[in-house]
Amino acid sequence: MTNIINTLLVLILVLNFFSLGSSRIQSIIHTVAIQGVLLGFLPLLVHSHLNIWLLLASLTAIVIKGILIPNMMSRALRNVQIKKEVEPLIGIMPSLILGAIATTFALLFTSQMPLVPEHNDKLIVPAAIATMLTGFILLTTRFKALTQVIGYLILENGIYIFGILLLGAMPMVVEMGVLLDVFVAIFVSCIIIAKINKSFSSMDTRMLSSLKE
């Protein structure tokens, strides 16, 4: 079982690199969608006994993260009619290298952390930290509002992975509440993106600093 979980987590790490390495926003959205679906399967694997609530929670996560949110973002992308992140703060290659450094440190440092023994051989903690850092890199180095929303979503994915560790202690309701929050946040930001695009005829968030009363 640990083998399957680790395989899934490594695939999630690989998808992080894809999201950092591609400049077409549509393909980053696809990457995040696949990541969301993979994440949805994680709680099923970590928990030893299946019940209907767990199944339902995992299904909801897959539907929201894998289908609903990517669809909304794709629609927002169609509305604003841009395809590429043209000039990020740092280029594609430097951000890939940053991501690689972040992942390496996440892997190396977690072996020093005082974890519960049963979490030691799983990659959950390093994968969570690496995914959060990836989201953070995406969030800070890209200027298009939609890419920043994607960065936020990847950051949340990292927190979700971390939350899986607490699955026994924390009721599923909390997880569902977080999921709902994310859904609403992205729903709102997709609307805001359309508005930004309408008033500034660009999705560049740097333009927002020229807002006056």
Partner 1 sequence: MIIFHLLLLILMPPLLFGVINKTKAWFGGRSGMPLLQPYYDIIKLLRKGMVFSTTTTWIFRIGPIVTLTTMFIAGLLVPMGRFNAPVSFTGDLILFAYLFGLSRFFTTAAALDTGSSFEGMGSAREVTFAILSEPALFFAFSVLVKMSSSFSLTTMLHSPFNELSVDIAAPLVLIAIGLFIVMLAESCRIPVDDPTTHLELTMIHEAMVLDHSGPLFGIISYASALKLFILGTVLLHIIFPFQIGTAWINWPLFICEMLGLAFVIGVIESIMARLQMNHVPYLLISALLFCAFGFVLLFR
Task: Give contact residues for partner 1 (rule: CB under 8 A).
Answer: 2-4, 6-7, 9-11, 13-14, 17, 21, 92-93, 96, 100, 103-104, 107-108, 111, 121, 123
- How far apart CA 135 and CA 18 sit, in angstroms, is 12
Q: Which is nearer to partner 1, 14 or 192 (CB)?
A: 14
Question: What is the closest distance, in whole angstroms, from the C-beta atom of residue 212 to partner 1 in the complex?
Answer: 41
Question: What is the closest distance, in whole angstroms, from the C-beta atom of residue 29 to partner 1 in the complex?
Answer: 17
Q: Which is nearer to partner 1, 2 or 140 (CB)?
A: 2
Question: What is the closest distance, in whole angstroms, from the C-beta atom of residue 205 to partner 1 in the complex?
Answer: 26
Question: What is the closest distance, in whole angstroms, from the C-beta atom of residue 10 to partner 1 in the complex?
Answer: 4
Question: What is the closest distance, in whole angstroms, from the C-beta atom of residue 5 to partner 1 in the complex?
Answer: 9
DSSP string, 73-128: HHHHHHHHT--B--S-SS-HHHHHHHHHHHHHHHHHHHTTS---GGGSSS-HHHHH
Q: What are phi and psi of 42, to 5 degrees?
A: -60, -50
- How far apart CA 24 and CA 57 sit, in angstroms, is 31
Q: Which is nearer to partner 1, 92 or 173 (CB)?
A: 92
Contact 77, 146 (CB under 8 A): yes
SS3 state of residue 122: coil
Question: What is the closest distance, in whole angstroms, from the C-beta atom of residue 140 to partner 1 in the complex?
Answer: 21
Contact 53, 31 (CB under 8 A): no
Task: Name the amino acid, one letter, at 154.
Answer: I
- At residue 11's C-alpha, the angle toward residues 15 and 17, to 5°, is 25
Q: How many helices (H) and strands (E) does the chain have?
A: 8, 0
Q: Which is nearer to partner 1, 111 or 199 (CB)?
A: 111
Q: Which is nearer to partner 1, 3 or 209 (CB)?
A: 3
Q: Which is nearer to partner 1, 48 or 210 (CB)?
A: 48
